[in-house]
Amino acid sequence: MRNKKWLRILGLVILGILLLAGGFVLYSWYTLNHRYFPETNRFTQAANYIDPEKAIDLGDFTVCDEDNIYDYYNSDGADYQAGKNGLRTQILSQYQAAHFKDSGYLNIRFVVNCQGKPGRYVMETYDLDLNASPMDEELKAHLFNLTRDLKNWNPIQINGTAQDAYVYISYRLENGKIVAILP
């Protein structure tokens, strides 16, 4: 009689543990597959995606693998051959700020393909508080042209193979003067 009672208690404990484990598995599945994903207005592309139809200055630029464009920070990132200081020196030596008075950030994002050629440019402008803000069109065109003229890029290396990568250059401007070039 005593054995039956212990078997019954053991069976209830095992059943309780199985129910808790099953509940945990179902909750985890729900959380991973439904809870944090919107049912409407789902994103169809990654946040860094640059739409070729909306990009500036396409010309004859092509990527090597449309389905695999990596982020700039993956592996050995795509970078300027003369290094960050070489890029800064080239931009600042050609920048003419005489009549510009804008302050804020001009972000230029683009793709460096597996051959080291840049293309698919997009520009975004922000004030110093990082709110979307307009900027002088002539200033934008001037910095865009300086950025577009940077031709010596090293493509990103993934497992020893050159790949396409998203890259950005962000200019911090104060009263028309470049005070920082990021990253």
Tens of pLDDT, residue by residue, the chain (183 residues): 677 888 888 889 999 999 999 999 999 888 887 777 666 666 666 667 777 778 886 678 888 988 888 886 666 667 888 888 999 999 999 998 878 999 999 999 999 999 999 999 999 999 999 999 999 999 999 999 999 999 889 888 888 888 999 899 999 999 999 999 998
74 & 144 share domain:
yes
6 & 83 share domain:
no
160 & 73 share domain:
yes
Structural domain includes residue 53: no
E strand or H helix that includes residue 28: helix 2-30
Which token pair is 152? 């010596």
8 contacts 2 by C-beta, under 8 angstroms: no
Task: State the residue range of the domain holding 10.
Answer: 1-42
Structural domain includes residue 54: no
E strand or H helix that includes residue 85: helix 83-94
103 & 151 share domain:
yes
Nearest by Cα to 172 from 107, 90, 95, 89? 107
119 contacts 110 by C-beta, under 8 angstroms: yes
Tell me how many domains the chain contains.
Answer: 2
